[in-house]
């Protein structure tokens, strides 16, 4: 869902913002690997050729430059997920659904499993190399 200010963005900016949010969430899987961004919003496929950008768009384009991605347009009429995202009952269901709260703040891992995982990491040769471990650190 968009914040108050984000609801006033243009359609193109909202579409791009959704991509930016998704890339931030899945960055650890996508960064450093080629992938295709499929969209039914054709103007997004021309982003690299836009002569002037506002500050927000420029900031987003700078973030996008970290990824090896290619934009691909999929016509809305053949994009099945587009129909799902526009279904009016889905929006109503999201608004009506209760917010889930955790029952406990305890870790879902058992103490035994946590110990076994620590032992496994300690004995794995990949994790003994500082460069490998450093590559897992999240960079924002």
The mean pLDDT of 36-54, rounded to a whole number, is: 84
Q: How confident is the model at residue 52 (pLDDT cuts 50, 70, 90)?
A: confident
Q: How far is CA 87 from CA 39, 63, 80, 93, in A?
A: 18, 31, 11, 10
3-class DSSP string for 50-65: CCCCCHHHHHHHHHHC
**pLDDT value of position 116:** 86
The helix (run of H) or strand (run of E) holding residue 22 is helix 11-30
- Angle at alpha carbon of residue 75, lines to 86 and 31, rounded to 5°: 85
Sequence ranges of the domains in the chain = 6-93
Whether the pLDDT of residue 48 is over 70: the answer is yes
The mean pLDDT of 44-50, rounded to a whole number, is: 80
**pLDDT value of position 109:** 65
Task: List all residues 6 or more positions away from 19 whose beta carbon is below 8 Å from its beta carbon.
Answer: 37, 39, 44, 64
For 64-116, what is each residue's pLDDT tens digit? 999 999 988 888 777 666 555 665 665 566 666 666 665 655 556 677 887 88
């Amino acid at each position: 869902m968009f914040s108050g200010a984000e609801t006033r963005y243009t359609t193109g900016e909202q579409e791009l913002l959704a991509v930016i949010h998704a890339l931030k969430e899945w960055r650890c899987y996508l960064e450093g690997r080629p992938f295709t961004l499929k969209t039914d919003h054709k103007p997004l496929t021309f982003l690299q050729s836009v002569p002037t950008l506002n500050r927000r768009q420029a900031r987003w384009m700078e973030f996008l430059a970290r990824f090896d991605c290619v934009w691909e347009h999929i016509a809305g009429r053949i994009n099945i997920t587009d129909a799902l995202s526009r279904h009016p009952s889905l929006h109503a269901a999201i608004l009506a659904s209760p917010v889930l709260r955790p029952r406990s703040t305890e870790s879902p891992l058992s103490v035994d499993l946590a110990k076994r995982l620590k032992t496994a990491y300690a004995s794995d040769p990949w994790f003994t190399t500082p460069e490998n471990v450093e590559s897992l650190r999240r960079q924002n």
